[in-house]
Structure 1
Amino acid sequence: MPTRDQPTSRPATAASDTYSFLGPAGTFTEAALAQVPEAAGKPWRSVNNVGEALDDVVSGRSVAAMIAIENSVEGGVSATQDALANVPNLRIIGEYLVPVNFVFVARRGTTLADVKVVNAHPVAYAQCHLWLDAVLPSHGHIPATSNVTAAASLFESGLADAAIAPPNITKHHDLVVLAEDIGDNPSAVTRFVLVSRTVPTPAATGADKTSLIAELPDDRAGALLEMLEQFATRGVNMSLLESRPIGDALGRYRFVIDLDGHILDERVADALLGLKRFSPNVTFLGSYPRADRIRVEVTGRYGDDAFVDARDWLRGLIAGESD
């Protein structure tokens, strides 16, 4: 795969054809980007963090960026959630799931008995603590900016004896695998989103998700319940609800929300209208196909026809028609 350190051999193309991802080559983010048909054969730009990835999109250096937003073990990725809340004019245009597991690697000639210090990304480290506590109970930890960087650092600083890395790391670095499948949860999955500049909302597929960020109007009893009722009374399920501090004062939070459904679904559109009347700040992040392609099923009173019939009934009443 082309990266910043390993550019494509094809002739140079426009920046608008480039896709950014958290690198270097071999990361789970790169594996997520490999699932995007439109990115195949296009230049891929390796970046160091979420902020750089989104700056690529905003500045036009890239047409889109792949970033991690949620992990089935650790929950939401706070850096991504905060960046999406603060960088305007972005849209999520797709989501992708990558199974997550890890291997324990070291320089050739190193054994498990030699390991005193481990280099690992904090999220990976947290997901492997049971294995580490059992096998290396007295080890030290040096945080890394990515899973691949953790492995690459073994050749650079020499401060760590081993690293936690993705299973395909030996394709990129001459390392020996000391242990495989060291993750605490074999079913762990990370959810990634592909983010572009603001674009027209694509048509609904019936298996969609809508993401947004909203703030409460004030700090009072029942305010959160009132916000949640905008969705509950319209039959809109929330598959994600997480709070993040706004940062301007203690006790001030914004809420990152994923809804089952598309903004063009009548129930979702009606809920967003209610939310807009309620919340002082609503950021629409996009409606896009679900990674699992599972269709969203609702009962009859929450289907599109029910909302259309209700509006027609109201128009008839206003026009003086018989009910």
Structure 2
Amino acid sequence: RQELVLPVEHCLLVRPGMQAADVKVLLSHPQALGQCRRFVERCFPKAEIVAALSTAAAVEEMMARENAAAIATRRAADLYAAEILARDIQDRSDNLTRFVVLAETDHPPTGNDKTSLAFSFADDRPGLLVRALEEFSSRGINLTKVESRPTKERLGEYIFLLDLAGHRSEKTVAEALEVVEAQASFFRIFGAYPRYMESA
């Protein structure tokens, strides 16, 4: 029921006894792969890159594969008895990752909140997404994140993930969500929670 932004140090993990020269496959969550892009390009330009659902899942899969390495945290190395070949491999020393803690019920409105949701459409027609997004824009609701992910059910079918500034119980936000839900074939609100506030 809140948004957290935490520093994350990425490491290169392998099965015990394995060397960097043995690595043919590199696994990690897409976010971690992106945060370590320069390291990956410099040290493993020919490795097959495999996206995992999480960095922990990448380490678990890596431990079951030959010639594989994973990008994850020191904690993941400890949990899976993996060996750390390199530390602090992220491109930026001030690397931060956003996490959202969700619960069965929303956090009460604070006046500085976010709401996270996902939706998709049954068909693929020009302007469907634009019309949905205009419901927020026309009400002065800022979208802080918009992502699309393949549904993996049909080629060209996507699910849209949004974070918006505001609590879903606010009148304008609730109105926009109601209209988008009516337009969508799939619609889910993950929750409303206080925005992360950076300490002074």
> Is the TM-score greater than 0.5?
yes
In the TM superposition, residue 271 of structure 1 has moved relative to its aligned partner by: 1.7
CA distance in 2, matches of 1:278, 1:140: 40
CA distance in 2, matches of 1:241, 1:103: 29
Return the structure number with greater relative CO, CA threshold 8 A, min gap 6: 2
- What is the DSSP-based 3-state SS (H/G/I as helix, E as strand, rest coil) of the residue aligned with 1:275? helix
CA distance in 1, matches of 2:166, 2:194: 9
Counterpart position of 2:89? 182
In the TM superposition, residue 132 of structure 1 has moved relative to its aligned partner by: 3.7
Aligned counterpart for 1:227 among listed residues 94, 119, 132? 132
Task: Give the structure with higher Rg (CA).
Answer: 1
| Contact kept in structure 2, 1:238 and 1:258, CA below 8 Å | yes
1:292 aligns with 2:197: yes
Counterpart position of 1:101? 9
CA distance in 1, matches of 2:68, 2:10: 16
1:207 aligns with 2:109: no
| Contact kept in structure 1, 2:28 and 2:70, CA below 8 Å | no
Percent identity, aligned pairs only? 32
Aligned counterpart for 2:28 among listed residues 119, 122, 133? 122
CA distance in 2, matches of 1:105, 1:194: 27
Q: How many matched pairs?
A: 197
Residues 149 and 218 of structure 1: is their aligned pair in 2 closer, same or farther, counting only changes over 3 Å? closer
TM-score by length of 1: 0.48
CA distance in 2, matches of 1:159, 1:180: 22
CA distance in 2, matches of 1:231, 1:189: 28
| Contact kept in structure 2, 1:95 and 1:288, CA below 8 Å | yes
Q: Which has the larger share of strand? A: 2
CA distance in 1, matches of 2:121, 2:143: 17
1:260 aligns with 2:165: yes
TM-score by length of 2: 0.70
Residues 177 and 233 of structure 1: is their aligned pair in 2 closer, same or farther, counting only changes over 3 Å? same
Counterpart position of 1:241? 146
Residues 116 and 174 of structure 1: is their aligned pair in 2 closer, same or farther, counting only changes over 3 Å? same
CA distance in 1, matches of 2:120, 2:68: 45
Structure 2 alignment gaps of length 5 or more: none
| Contact kept in structure 2, 1:121 and 1:146, CA below 8 Å | no
| Contact kept in structure 2, 1:262 and 1:287, CA below 8 Å | yes
Aligned counterpart for 2:177 among listed residues 272, 281, 296? 272
Counterpart position of 1:196? 103
Counterpart position of 1:159? 66
- What is the DSSP-based 3-state SS (H/G/I as helix, E as strand, rest coil) of the residue aligned with 2:129? helix
TM-superposition CA deviations, 1:172-216 (whole Å, max 9, x none): 67776543321234444332233434x3x4320112111122234
- What is the DSSP-based 3-state SS (H/G/I as helix, E as strand, rest coil) of the residue aligned with 1:210? strand
In the TM superposition, residue 238 of structure 1 has moved relative to its aligned partner by: 0.8
| Contact kept in structure 2, 1:105 and 1:179, CA below 8 Å | yes
Structure 1 alignment gaps of length 5 or more: 1-92, 295-323
Residues 207 and 150 of structure 1: is their aligned pair in 2 closer, same or farther, counting only changes over 3 Å? same
CA distance in 1, matches of 2:76, 2:151: 37
TM-superposition CA deviations, 1:100-122 (whole Å, max 9, x none): 3322356787776xx32166433
Amino acid corresponding to residue 39 of structure 2 in structure 1: W
